[in-house]
């Protein structure tokens, strides 16, 4: 009987030892967590979009652009129209003497005229005379002098405006009041690559108004980041991501409301590449 009890006890102890050994082989949850790195790697920081005033540009206060043509230029048929400008105190085709020519996208052909029809992307002209294909309809021309790195010359005589009446014009035509406050988009435009993506010119022309904190202003939205511009000067955009960039400009009144006018709200897309 004693032998039977002893054998039973030995079997129970053995089973207990085996069971305890099995539990010891199972890894606690706390130890599983210790298998992962203890330090969390730093997050990759992305540049924030910023807008800064551009400085160090020659002013050209006495430069002028002249177009000997009536305020309404009329022709019966669509097609090529000859434009003959006169430029004073400004040299087309020369490089602008400024460090900005090295840090911004710069035209190797030099200073030029920005020719803008109906607030669409401009065409650049390095001579005073040229032909333009103009379709039938009513069109509104704004042209101004531009530095080689595409910054507009901003004075009363550096810009001209004209209304073009080509062919038969419907009674409900645009008929823009060119004497009303008007926003004309200029830069940025097109594609930028390499070093040119680091600093990009934001430039526009305002007609028949001035900008200030208490009155008219320009609301700029660059990839959903908003800036309120209260001074009519050129700006530099920094921190843009590679890829498509959307730029919106809007001319606003003192209460932040859109000033009526077909050109006073505009959206453009540009592309940045490595």
pLDDT digits (tens, 9 = 90+) for 91-145: 999 999 999 999 999 999 999 999 999 999 999 999 999 999 999 989 999 999 9
Model confidence pLDDT, tens digit, residues 163-193: 999 988 765 565 678 899 999 999 999 999 9
The residue among 253, 269, 272 whose CA lies nearest residue 261 is 253
Model confidence pLDDT, tens digit, residues 118-127: 999 999 999 9
List the chain domain ranges: 50-273
Handedness of CA 236, 126, 70, 169 (dihedral sign): negative
Which CATH number does the domain 50-273 belong to among 3.40.50.720, 2.70.70.10, 2.60.40.10, 2.40.50.140?
2.60.40.10
pTM of the model: 0.81
| Inter-residue contact 49 to 225 (CB < 8 Å) | yes
CA 133/CA 70 separation, integer angstroms: 19
């Amino acid at each position: 009987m004693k032998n039977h009890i002893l054998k039973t006890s030995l079997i129970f102890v053995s089973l207990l030892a085996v069971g305890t050994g099995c539990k010891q082989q199972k890894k606690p949850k706390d130890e599983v967590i210790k298998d992962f790195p203890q330090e969390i790697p730093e997050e990759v920081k992305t540049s924030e979009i910023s807008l800064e005033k551009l400085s160090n540009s020659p002013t050209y206060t006495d430069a002028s652009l002249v177009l000997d043509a009536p305020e309404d230029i009329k022709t019966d048929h669509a097609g090529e129209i000859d434009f003959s400008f006169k430029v004073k105190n400004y040299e087309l085709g020369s490089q602008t003497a400024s460090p900005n020519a090295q840090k911004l996208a710069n035209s190797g052909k030099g200073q030029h005229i920005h020719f803008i029809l109906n607030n669409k992307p401009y065409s650049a002209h390095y001579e005073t005379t040229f032909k333009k294909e103009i379709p039938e309809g009513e069109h509104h021309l704004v042209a101004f002098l531009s530095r080689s790195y595409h910054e507009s010359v901003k004075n009363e005589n550096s810009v001209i405006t004209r209304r073009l009446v080509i062919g038969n014009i419907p009674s409900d035509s645009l008929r823009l009041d060119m004497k009303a406050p008007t926003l004309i988009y200029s830069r940025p435009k097109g594609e930028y690559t390499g070093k040119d993506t680091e600093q990009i010119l934001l430039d526009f022309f305002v007609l028949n108004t001035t900008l200030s904190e208490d009155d008219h202003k320009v609301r700029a939205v660059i990839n959903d980041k908003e800036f309120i511009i209260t001074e009519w000067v050129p700006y530099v955009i920094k921190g843009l991501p590679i890829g498509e960039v959307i730029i919106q400009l809007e001319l606003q009144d003192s209460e932040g409301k859109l000033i009526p006018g077909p050109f006073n709200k505009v959206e453009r897309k540009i592309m940045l590449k490595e």
